[in-house]
């Protein structure tokens, strides 16, 4: 590939982003009196730290560093997009992961700054008022809001295993309705993406993925939980491109789920050298050898944990000596057990015939979402998460 | 008159149906309208799979589930004739991460539940600072992640030990997180040092402070929460730890107990679907959680508070904040006395050799969490989970109300909803 061609393609992308941001700028702000500069400043971050963060996100989304100022610009207009976040059958771990993203880090501030119109765990309103807010937000921003769903969806004759709100509406009905009029639909976490733990055999509640109850294209952000970086990154990607990201065969954004855990694992050198932990606590375990033989499913699992880690980069399971359990793969609870044993009849390089998830990804429909018309008035439910005034 | 209220911001959803008479709550029934069937999913799986499945019951106390699972499996090893004796290092690290999970929970509850809920009751508006809660909770989670790889949903405990082998640098890092967290708690939350706060002998000493804590304390008193929200004045602590005294208390009188006497009964919720069961000890209701744990430890301030305000909503809230201080100190002492020379893991026989039952009991942020496992040649035959919210917030009949139902009686609906939240509800755990 010649350098000049590469530059040309990024040039046009750069222009497209600029236009997108200009378009978004014309839309009304959700909160008249807030700006990202203010939010960052109020929370004790300098502009320099903000730019370093923007650079990190730019790199994470596989864009050249020259896009960093554009990323910073994009964040400034993030408050033009209304977001509705629904909880289905789940443990709220994904929300907790997002809340723990930070000190408060810039990641969580972004979620403060954007207009979270409805989020059960974070909002101030509760009960009937909350239900009303949800209905209002869905009506007001019809066709324009971003829908983020956490949790699997009970279906069939056990649909009533999840009801939401005072009217006893089932989770499935709520999710279907919310998805119908959303501009973009994101399944946050493995439960929403693939059914998750409650969908493991015998699946007592007939829990299914969000994509099974709507005809809309669902972008899956699996992980149990997904890292805060993947949640925020998905949002910023949509903000910049105004379209769905390139997806793999399971509708996961390629920028995050393109590589196997194994590919960038810190213990990979030991795998290549044939140095394995044979049993927990042995000499190999002390020396950080490869965990494949004690059940690591990293070779079959597509995610960026080995790079992004968790809790603001503190650690990740493999670093703590516990192999990957495959939590961002569909049906891993049933197909990748037992947890502390390797998958005996599956060689590590056989996923998708050895080609990896890329093999069929481009055949999956990538429906383009329009970037237009995000007309909004101030409706500051999001004031629930005001930053602390130091 | 019958009205219904939906409760959010509690890890899932709950619904309370009130019978109102003369503007006061005559009675309330509680329902949890969701069900996932985790126990059924565990059946037939390898016993070790419980270590990754049960933490997924809950996004806020998954670590307690992990520890309950590992204790249940280790108990089964013992009952099968292969007793596992964990060394100091293993015990201390497990205990430390469990404590840190309780700490993050309490911080989050204080800043993200208590303050917004108080604001609803109180006519003046409070300064809402939920990001303070996120700040403190994420520091605590980082300390857990240093040993456990991630939080939520860590799985680093295994029968015979832990999988991580921390270095001195890790220990130093954890101590730094703790110092930062303690400083935050002293400066932002308490307005005094941990030592001073823990040595208080009377609630009157709170008045000298000027902080988030003292502000909340004043509001609680002005709302007369020290005269409201009484449950049975009976407390239950079942998880055995370095920071608990296992017992049941009738007022201040403590007696020893055995977790095998915990039973569950069907919930009473005639008008609403619920998937929850109520938990009891010897067929009686007890309150569990921070107030119970602090009552059993005989702190002068807690005794003083109880003498004056019994098990009121005020005492329940104050005990949770006091426990934060107590556990921060405990965590510091664990982190500074930890020696890494010992092994992280002691070899155990293969799980396929185990046919036995086991009981794992821990104290989770809201009280006792019980896991009962039956293993047949390494495979789970049956798995039962009983969670703290089932003790506190069951739904029973008017004749024999649960602690939360009793605490809500004779209050206005708004007050009752506040009192409901002083128990710190976890809805997703309750039905699992």
pLDDT digits (tens, 9 = 90+) for B230-273: 999 999 999 999 999 999 999 999 999 999 999 999 999 998 88
3-state secondary structure of A153: strand
The mean per-residue pLDDT over the stretch B5-14 comes to 74
Q: What is the pLDDT of residues B357-377, one digit of tens each?
A: 999 999 999 999 999 999 999
CA trace torsion A193, A196, A198, A203 (10° rounding):
80
User: Hey, are the CB atoms on A320 and B147 less than 8 Å from each other?
Assistant: yes
Query: How many Å from the N-terminal Cα to the C-terminal Cα in chain B?
Result: 32
Q: What are phi and psi of A297, to 5 degrees?
A: -100, 15
Chain B partners of A123 at a C-beta cutoff of 8 Å? 8-9
Average pLDDT over residues A358-374: 26
* DSSP one-letter code for A227: P
Read off the pLDDT band of A51 (50, 70, 90): confident
8 Å CB contact of B428 and A123: no
Mean pLDDT of chain A, nearest integer: 80
- What superfamily would CATH give domain B2-430? Cytochrome-c3 Hydrogenase, chain B (1.10.645.10)
Residues A18-45 have a mean pLDDT of 80
Residues in CB range of B7: below 8 A, 6 or more apart: A126, A127, B13, B14, B15, B16, B417, B420, B421, B425, B427
pLDDT at A357: 39
Average the pLDDT over each of A8-12, B23-27, B265-269, B374-378 and give the range with the smallest value.
A8-12
For chain B, the structural domain boundaries read 2-430
The pTM of the full predicted model, rounded to 2 decimals, is 0.90
Residue A351 pLDDT: 45
Residues of A with CB below 8 A from B112's CB? Answer: 122
Residues on chain B touching A309 (C-beta within 8 angstroms):
150
Residue in A303, A320, A189 with CA at minimum distance from that of residue A267? A320
- How do residues B184-198 score in pLDDT, each as one tens digit? 999 999 999 999 999
pLDDT tens sequence across A83-115? 888 999 988 888 888 776 544 467 666 766 766
Q: If pLDDT is split at 50, 70 and 90, which confidence band does B400 have? A: very high
Torsions phi, psi for B118 (to 5 deg): -65, -35
Residue from B352, B355, B357 nearest B48 by CA: B352
Cα A382 from chain centroid (whole Å)? 20
Predicted pLDDT of residue A350? 45
Which of A43, A154, A281 lies closest to B161 in CB terms?
A: A281
Tell whether the model's pLDDT for residue B138 goes beyond 90. no
DSSP string computed for B264-327: EEE---TTS----EEEEETTB--B-SHHHHHHHTT-HHHHHHHHHHTT-HHHHHHHHHHHHHHH
**pLDDT value of position A197:** 96
Q: In B111-188, where does DSSP find H-type helix?
A: 115-121, 130-148, 168-184
Count Cβ atoms below 10 Å from residue B86 Cβ, excluding itself. Answer: 20
Query: Sorting pLDDT into bands at 50, 70 and 90, what band is A372?
Result: very low
Q: Which of A55-59, B31-35, B71-75, B364-368 has the lowest mean pLDDT?
A: A55-59
Q: Which of B5, B28, B34 is the best mutation test for A, with the most CBs of A within 10 A?
A: B34
Query: Cβ of A103 and B135 within 8 Å?
Result: yes
Q: What is the pLDDT of residue B11?
A: 66
What pLDDT band is residue B175 in, cutting at 50, 70 and 90? Answer: very high
Instruction: Tell me the per-residue pLDDT of A179-221, one tens digit each, with 9 for 90 and over.
Output: 999 999 999 999 999 999 999 999 999 999 999 999 999 999 9
The share of chain A scoring above pLDDT 90, in percent, equals: 44
In a mutational test of the B interface, the residue from A88, A90, A93 whose CB has the highest number of chain B CBs within 10 Å is A93
User: Per the CB < 8 Å rule, is A127 touching B6?
Assistant: yes
- Reported as half-sphere exposure (CB side, CA atoms, 13 A), residue A341 has a value of 15
| Confidence (pLDDT) at B125 | 62
Decide: A198 and A205 in contact? Cβ < 8 Å: yes
**A167-171, B344-348, B402-406, B417-421: least confident range:** A167-171
For chain A, what is the radius of gyration of the CA atoms? 21
Higher-confidence residue of B2 and A156: namely: A156
A338/A328: higher pLDDT: A328
Across the strands, what pairs with A220? Answer: A187
* Residue A165 confidence class, pLDDT cut points 50, 70, 90: confident
Count of beta carbons in the 10 Å neighbourhood of residue B421: 22
Question: Which of the two residues, B263 and A136, has the higher pLDDT score?
Answer: B263
Q: How deeply is B378 buried, as exposed, middle or buried, from its count of CB atoms within 10 A (0-12, 13-18, 19+)?
A: middle
Gap between the Cα atoms of B123 and B16, Å rounded: 24
Q: What is the pLDDT of residue A1?
A: 42
What pLDDT sits at residue B124?
A: 63
**Per-residue pLDDT at B133:** 83
Q: B57 CB near a chain A CB, below 8 Å?
A: yes
Instruction: Give percent above pLDDT 70 in chain B.
Output: 98
Query: Cα–Cα distances in Å, from A79 out to A25, A27, A29, A118, B423?
Result: 10, 10, 6, 14, 36
Tokens of B311: 């098990």
């Amino acid at each position: 590939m010649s350098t000049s061609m590469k530059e040309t393609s990024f040039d046009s992308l750069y222009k497209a982003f600029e236009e997108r941001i200009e378009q978004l700028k014309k839309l009304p702000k959700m909160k008249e009196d807030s700006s990202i500069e203010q939010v960052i400043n109020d929370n004790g971050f300098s502009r320099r730290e903000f730019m370093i963060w923007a650079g990190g996100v730019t790199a994470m989304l596989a864009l050249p560093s020259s896009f960093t100022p554009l990323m910073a610009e994009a964040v400034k207009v993030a408050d033009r997009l209304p977001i509705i976040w629904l909880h289905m059958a789940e443990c709220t771990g994904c929300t907790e992961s997002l809340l723990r993203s930070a000190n408060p880090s810039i990641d969580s501030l972004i979620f403060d700054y954007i207009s979270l119109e409805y989020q059960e765990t974070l909002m101030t309103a509760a009960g009937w008022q909350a239900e009303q807010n949800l209905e209002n937000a869905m009506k007001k921003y019809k066709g324009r809001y971003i829908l983020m769903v956490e949790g699997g969806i009970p279906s069939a004759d056990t649909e009533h295993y999840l009801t939401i709100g005072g009217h006893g509406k089932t989770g499935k009905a709520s999710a279907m309705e919310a998805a119908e009029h959303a501009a973009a639909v994101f399944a946050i976490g493995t439960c929403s993406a693939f059914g998750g733990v409650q969908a493991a055999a015998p699946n007592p509640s007939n829990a299914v993925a969000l994509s099974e109850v709507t005809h809309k294209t669902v972008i899956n952000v699996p992980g149990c939980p997904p890292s805060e970086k993947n949640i925020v990154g998905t949002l910023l990607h949509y903000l910049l491109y105004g379209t769905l990201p390139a997806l793999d065969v399971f509708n996961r954004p390629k920028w995050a789920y393109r590589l196997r855990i194994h590919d960038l694992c810190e213990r990979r050198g030991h795998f290549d050298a044939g140095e394995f932990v044979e049993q927990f606590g042995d000499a190999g375990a002390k020396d950080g050898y490869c965990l494949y033989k004690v059940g690591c499913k990293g070779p079959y699992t597509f995610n960026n944990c080995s790079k992004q880690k968790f809790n603001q980069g503190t650690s990740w399971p493999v670093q703590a000596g516990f192999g990957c359990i495959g939590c961002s793969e569909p049906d891993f609870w049933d197909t990748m057990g037992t947890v502390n044993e390797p998958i005996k009849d599956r060689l590590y390089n056989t996923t998708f015939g050895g080609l990896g998830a890329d093999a069929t990804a481009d055949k999956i429909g990538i429906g383009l979402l329009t970037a237009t018309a995000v007309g909004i008035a101030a409706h500051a439910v999001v004031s629930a998460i005001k930053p602390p005034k130091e | 008159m019958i009205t219904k209220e939906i409760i959010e911001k509690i890890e899932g959803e709950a619904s309370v149906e009130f019978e109102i008479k003369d503007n006061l709550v005559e009675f309330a029934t509680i329902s949890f309208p969701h069900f996932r069937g985790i126990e059924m999913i565990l059946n037939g799986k390898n016993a070790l799979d419980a270590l990754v499945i049960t933490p997924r019951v809950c996004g806020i106390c998954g670590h307690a589930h992990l520890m309950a699972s590992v204790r249940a499996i280790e108990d089964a090893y013992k009952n099968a004739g292969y007793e596992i004796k964990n060394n100091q290092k293993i015990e201390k690290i497990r205990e430390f991460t469990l404590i840190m999970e309780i700490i993050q929970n309490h911080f989050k509850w204080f800043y993200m539940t208590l303050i917004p809920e108080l604001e609803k009751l109180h006519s003046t508006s409070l300064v809402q600072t939920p990001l303070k809660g996120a700040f403190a909770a994420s520091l605590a989670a980082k300390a857990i992640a240093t040993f456990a790889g991630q939080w939520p949903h860590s799985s680093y405990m295994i029968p015979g030990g832990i999988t991580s082998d921390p270095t001195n640098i890790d220990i130093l890092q954890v101590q730094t997180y703790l110092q930062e967290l303690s400083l935050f708690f002293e400066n932002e939350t308490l307005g005094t040092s941990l030592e001073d706060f823990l040595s208080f002998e009377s609630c009157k000493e709170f008045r000298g402070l000027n902080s988030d804590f003292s502000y909340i304390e004043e509001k609680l008193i002005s709302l007369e929460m020290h005269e409201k929200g009484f449950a049975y004045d009976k407390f239950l602590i079942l998880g055995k730890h370095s920071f608990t005294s296992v017992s049941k208390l009738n007022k201040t009188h403590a007696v020893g107990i055995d977790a095998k006497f915990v039973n569950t009964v069907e919930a009473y919720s005639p008008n609403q679907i619920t998937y929850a069961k109520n938990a009891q000890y010897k067929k009686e209701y007890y309150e569990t959680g921070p107030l119970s744990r602090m009552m059993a430890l005989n702190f002068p301030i807690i005794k003083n508070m109880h003498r004056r305000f019994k098990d009121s909503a005020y005492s329940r809230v104050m005990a949770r904040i006091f426990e934060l201080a107590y556990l921060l100190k405990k965590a510091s002492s664990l982190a500074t006395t930890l020696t890494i020379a010992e092994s992280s893991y002691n070899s155990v026989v293969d799980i396929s050799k185990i046919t036995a039952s086991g009981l794992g009991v821990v104290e989770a942020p809201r009280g006792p969490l019980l896991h009962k496992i039956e293993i047949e040649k390494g495979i789970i035959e049956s798995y039962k989970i009983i969670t703290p919210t089932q003790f506190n917030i069951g739904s029973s009949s008017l004749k024999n109300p649960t602690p939360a139902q009793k605490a809500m009686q004779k209050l206005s609906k708004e007050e009752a909803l506040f009192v409901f939240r002083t128990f710190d509800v976890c809805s997703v755990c309750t039905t699992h």
